[in-house]
Structures are given as C-alpha cells and as structure tokens.
Amino acid sequence: MNTSKAINKVAVIGAGIAGLSCARELQSQGILVDVFEKSRGPSGRMSTRRSDDWSADHGAQYFTARDPRFIQEVKSWIQAGIARIWKPKIKVYEAKAWRESSSQEIRYVGTPNMNSIGKHLTEKLSIQYGVTISKLDRRADQWHLQSNEIGEITASYDFVVLAIPAPQASALVKDLDTRAFDITHSAHMKACWTMMANFPNQTPSDFDAAFINQEIISWICQNGSKPMRQGATWTIHGSPTWSQDNVELSKEEAQGQMLQCLTSLGFNCQDAETSMHRWRYASGGLENSIGFLSLPDIGLGLCGDWLNGGRVEGAWLSGLELAVALKEM
C-alpha cells in the first residue's frame, strides 16, 4: 500500500459536469489529465437535443446554487455568457387542479443551451469522445484502460476518476475493489422517459413550465421560455417512479402513455411531432451522501451527482472536492 506516491497523470472517465469540474481542478494543480467520454460531446445529463427544425434541453432543466463555491462558479459562467437566470412562470398540477407555484427559487440555465456549460468547461482539457471505457487494469501501480471502440488506451495512469452514474461505475469496479463496488451497488438510480414535442394545435398556455404531481408526467416546460432560445418545443419528463417501472417500454408505447396524460392535462396533442429519449440513470443515488469516494491505496476515485445529493450543483461539487482531496493526499 502506497498512499504518498505522487500523482502526475490522471484519467477521468465521463465528461459530465462532475468529470469536467474534477478534470479542471486537477489540471489547475499541474496534473496531466486525459478525459474519456463515450458520447460525441460533453455535458452528460446536461444535454441538448437538436434536429433540423428545433432544439431542446432534454436532461437537466435548470439548476440552483447554494454553496458559495458553486455560486462563485455560476457567476463566472454568467460573465462568460454561457449561463443566465431563468424566471419562468410556473404552475403546479395536483389533485387534478392547476395552481400558481409559490416557489421563489433562483433558477439558472446554460445559454444558449444547457450543454453550453459543458462545452465551456472542456476548454483547454484533453478529451477523447466516442470512447467507452470497458475495463480497468492495475499493474505495477499504473492503470491501463480498455475501450470498446479503440481497444487498449496507449497511455497509463497513476490515478483513475470514475465520474459516471453508479450502475456504470459498478460494472467497472466489480472485480477490482469491494469498497468501491459496495458503494456503487448501494446507490439507487431511477430512469426518466423524456419527450420533446411540438403541438401545432395547442393554444398558447399561461405558464412556461409546470410541476405535475401524482401523474405519470412530473414536469413540462416550454424550451423557448428560457433565455436565448426560440421556438415552441416542449420538454416533458416522466415521473421517476413511472419511468423506472416502465423503462423497458418501446419508445412508441412510452410516448402513447405520455401523450394520453398530456391530453388529460388539457393539451391538444393532435398532430404532435415528438421525439423520445430514455435516460436509464437519471436521478437518485446514495441514501446518505458521502460527497465523493477516494481510494488512494489503489489510485481510484469516484465522483458524480449520485454521491452528493443528486443534481447539477451536487455533481459539480463532488468533482471539485475529489480533486482537492487528491492534492491534499
């Protein structure tokens, strides 16, 4: 066991907000960092879906900031022009009735899209996209990585950070370390069915977004109500319970049930143009947050929303705190 070995080179798996915040902090400490991301771009669950005619944030809808370090970071994003405050008119649908929301929460969004933040955070980082890390091997105090797409990664690393949802981290650490496996295995993440839709026959509604309670849908939002967006595309999220219970439905079946629910809420869904997305690991995590996990004896760290209360702020802080802990090792 060697906990005092210098860390010169780190691989960060996952370019969501947690991985990016961790990678940036490590790089600012003079550590060489390579980020590997399975998708074609950064941002993870803070993503934006595009088609020829429309675009819409289809993961995180907005974020809040309470911790002074995150408030400071968000200020820097606003100054850089990649985030703004969003002041939606919000309603609540509950017990089959609509009411105004009394929430005074300050809500922020990326501009012009939610994924603008991830793109901004990748500046000056070395990132390989379209690389799914499938296996980690530790030999002679060095990590060697395997990927589905390009096989063995040529570089080796002193430390590996897994900044990916718990079930995906679980698969990677299963045969490596029981402490890491037990933590990932005890996290409970739920799915989310998301529908993006244009309703050509819907009359304009008197709200920008709504929390829906006790229905299979939990949130609807007009993307164009957010700063620097246009168009009339709605993002509609299935509730965590319904989405998880129905995660294996076909897209057509899930869409049918969500449209039926929207109709019962008063939407005119005739001729609706829709696009569906299934988030397998959308929300949830550890029952009791631990912030991040660092295992210096084997050079492994875990960060992400699921270790730190969920949500964008928790994910960003988790990545930062893991990187700071490595400096202090």
Ligand X SMILES: Cc1cc2nc3c(=O)[nH]c(=O)nc-3n(C[C@H](O)[C@H](O)[C@H](O)COP(=O)(O)OP(=O)(O)OC[C@H]3O[C@@H](n4cnc5c(N)ncnc54)[C@H](O)[C@@H]3O)c2cc1C
Region of 90 please: left (phi>0), alpha (psi -120 to 50) or beta: beta
Cβ proximity of 56 and 223 under 8 Å:
yes
112: preceding bond cis by omega (within 30 degrees): yes
Note whether 292 binds ligand X by CB under 6 A: no
Q: Nearer to ligand X by C-beta: 172 or 326?
A: 172
Q: How many CB atoms within 10 Å of residue 232?
A: 15
Sign (positive or negative) of CA dihedral 273, 279, 280, 286: negative
- Shortest reach from residue 283's CB to ligand X, in Å: 6
Region of 32 please: left (phi>0), alpha (psi -120 to 50) or beta: beta
In whole angstroms, what is the distance from residue 317 CA to residue 18 CA? 7
Greatest CA separation for the chain: 66
Note whether 34 binds ligand X by CB under 6 A: no
Note whether 73 binds ligand X by CB under 6 A: no
> Which one of the spans 71-79, 196-204, 222-230, 279-287 is the region binding ligand X (CB under 6 A)?
279-287
Cβ proximity of 282 and 149 under 8 Å:
no
Q: Residue 284: in which H helix or E strand, if any?
A: strand 273-285
> Which one of the spans 39-47, 175-183, 249-257, 293-301 is the region binding ligand X (CB under 6 A)?
39-47
Note whether 44 binds ligand X by CB under 6 A: yes
Region of 146 please: left (phi>0), alpha (psi -120 to 50) or beta: beta
| Of 12, 18, 160, 221, the one binding ligand X by CB under 6 A | 18
| Of 48, 113, 168, 202, the one binding ligand X by CB under 6 A | 168
The two beta strands, 159-162 and 9-13, are parallel
**Opening angle at CA 217, ends 244 and 232, nearest 5:** 125
> Which one of the spans 4-12, 16-24, 206-214, 261-269 is the region binding ligand X (CB under 6 A)?
16-24
Tokens, residue 165: 């949802």
| Of 11, 19, 207, 278, the one binding ligand X by CB under 6 A | 19
- Shortest reach from residue 201's CB to ligand X, in Å: 26
> Which one of the spans 38-46, 72-80, 176-184, 206-214 is the region binding ligand X (CB under 6 A)?
38-46
Footprint of ligand X on 226-265 (CB under 6 A): 237
Q: Nearer to ligand X by C-beta: 137 or 271?
A: 137
| Of 165, 284, 299, 301, the one binding ligand X by CB under 6 A | 165
Note whether 38 binds ligand X by CB under 6 A: yes
| Of 315, 317, 320, 322, the one binding ligand X by CB under 6 A | 315
DSSP bridge pairs for 209? 90, 221
List of residues contacting ligand X (CB under 6 A) = 13-19, 36-39, 44-46, 59-63, 132-133, 163-165, 168, 192, 194, 237, 279, 282-283, 304-305, 310-312, 315
